[in-house]
Amino acid sequence: MPDPARPFGRVLTAMVTPFTEDGSVDLAGAQELAAHLVDRGHHDGLVVNGTTGESPTVSDAEQTTLLEAVLDAVGDRAVVVAGAGTNDTAHSIDKARAAERLGAHGLLVVTPYYNRPTQRGLLAHFGAVADATDLPVMLYDIPPRSQVPIAVDTLVRLAEHPRIVAVKDAKGNLNDVSWTLARTDLAYYSGDDVLNLALLAVGAVGVVSVVGHVVGPQLAELVAAVEAGDLVRARAVNDALLPVYAGIMGGGQGAMMVKAALHLLGLPAGPTRPPLVDATAEEVAQLRRDLAAGGLLR
């Protein structure tokens, strides 16, 4: 049975969508990558069809086949969370129901982007998506992309919904996180790798990571050290990860750079889809240096 305190596990990665060189979805590559992350990368789960998976440029039909492929590959031994959020409530409901029919274990629902709803609008949107299925829901609070943050009072009200159980936080506001944790039973997951240690220290139960594609075991060690109260060890693990954070999250767009990192490590990724572009030779050279400083390459 899932632990109510950490309903999606401790270490999850927001998985890239591998493409072939002609730009089509690489289902075999996705299954290979998913199996690697779960079986060798110490992952409790994966988020499929999120923004790191380039969901804005992957069609609904492609997202369905991708989710099905990942569930077939690892669904018997890992939590598979389906990205279902859009800036259209009806579309989000359709995606949520499709994910449930395929057997997804949970939903990631991002704050509607671009149309900038009010907090009342957020309550209505998230509530409607959570009402649409029996799956547990992780909210995704990322105002750098959505513009609108989920206010603490809104989170408190959303936490009353029996299926809204967690938050992936990329807001960068530790005060809001602390107040939400003090007022709700929501499980918090760090959605901003450079703040993993800080969010864990104030009460997050795990991470939904981008760099987890390449440092899953280290992230598992980080979470375990914080849980054990060994902040000295946690800081040492985090310090060792800083070059990897810089190379992937500081060197360019996250999906672009983590695909480049996977390529360097011989794992399936393929190119990005426009409007994203692949890393330049200079960016890859710096990434190689950063990964080497993090102990991943020689």
Is 65 flagged in the annotation as binding? no
Is 57 flagged in the annotation as binding? no
Give the integer Cα–Cα distance in Å for 142 and 147. 8
CB 237 within 8 A of CB 225: yes
Give the integer Cα–Cα distance in Å for 132 and 74. 25
Q: Could you list the active site residues?
A: 140, 168
- C-alpha angle 106-186-222 in degrees, rounded to nearest 5: 85
CB 6 within 8 A of CB 42: no
Binding-site residue set: 52, 208
Binding-site residue set for pyruvate: 52, 208
